[in-house]
Amino acid sequence: MKKGSKQSSETKEKISKSLEGHKVSDETRVKIGESNKGKKTSEDTKRKISKSKKGQMPWNTGIKLTEKQKEKAKKNYFPKGQIPWNKDMVMSKEYCKKLSNAHLGQERTEETKKKISIGMKGKQNALGSKGWCAGLTKETDERIRLKSEKRKGYKHTKEAKKIIGIKGLGRIPWNKGKKNVYTEEQLQRLRMGHAGNHYEGHRWNKDSIEIWKWFDKYIFESEGQYATNGGEHIVEGWRYAVDYINHQAKVIIEWDEEAHYFNDKLREEDKIRQKRIEKAMPDYDFIRIRESQLNYFMLCLLVAMRYKNKLKG
């Protein structure tokens, strides 16, 4: 056949009929494979193939495989005892970057998202439902340990935070308006998890620690509980961690920076929080110390101490 010449439809049909039922031997397949090894398709050829395939409907569109065919395909694709080609393979940073760049800007269709959602249902859930990592810990599984080590100390950049914030705008939470989504055990785990982060992340005011020590020694004459002494107390049923609590004196004290005030008034969320704590712990007195008015507060305490000593005398 001359280069550049094209076969007629009639010729193509004759070739197709003559090859019907013809099977290529394993030996021939090996020879074809060996002869094609190392060959690379040029960019020009790739473009031509792409152009010729555009608009063509795949031959198997709409055809569903039978259970027998699926089982056969599985056996051929995953032969028993076959080791995956990429097992224990470590990808280079350069290769990972290329993969990342290749997927940048790609957006999944709503149909694809729905399919993924249906496929993932019941497989993995952060609140304890079955998943590949269910019951695994850093101590028992190397993968979990490596993931944990990799994430240690990781912080999002300002740019990343901004992107995450923009992506979440207008998104309706999946559990909005739904009731009884979580079990009581799951709710407690969520509360405790958030509460633990309150002081484990060192968000407590370091200046307050000396005041709590002073209270223990001179005011209550008993040991209280705070960030550096037993950890901040978690209010049962809520995720609130109180700044200072003295179980013997039955006192709760909150240390308020200026961020807790707006137009010289305590913020509404802090008022609600206080009411909830008072309701959960009715036997305790609730006291607030405003950091900017600390000197005035301490003066009042000293006067109270003198009066207390005078009564004793």
Q: Give me the residues of the chain with pLDDT under 70, please.
A: 1-4, 78-81, 122-135, 188-203, 302-313
> So what's the pLDDT on residue 178?
80
Instruction: Name the region of 237 (left: φ>0; alpha: ψ -120 to 50; beta: rest).
Output: left
Expressed in angstroms, the distance from the first to the final Cα of the chain is 122
Asked if 133 and 148 count as a contact pair (C-beta separation under 8 A), the reply is no
> So what's the pLDDT on residue 128?
46
> So what's the pLDDT on residue 302?
66
> So what's the pLDDT on residue 135?
67
Sheet holding 244-246, edge to edge: 225-226, 244-246, 251-256, 285-290
B/e letters for 125-148, b = 16+ CB within 10 Å, e = fewer, are eeeeeeeeeeeeeeeeeeeeeeee
pLDDT tens digit sequence for 255-306: 988 888 888 899 998 999 999 999 999 999 998 988 888 877 777 776 666 6
What is the number of other CB atoms lying within 10 angstroms of the CB of residue 190? 14
Would you say the pTM of this structure is higher than 0.85? no
Q: Which residues contact 233 (CB under 8 A, 6 or more apart)?
A: 225, 241, 242, 245
Asked if 291 and 205 count as a contact pair (C-beta separation under 8 A), the reply is yes
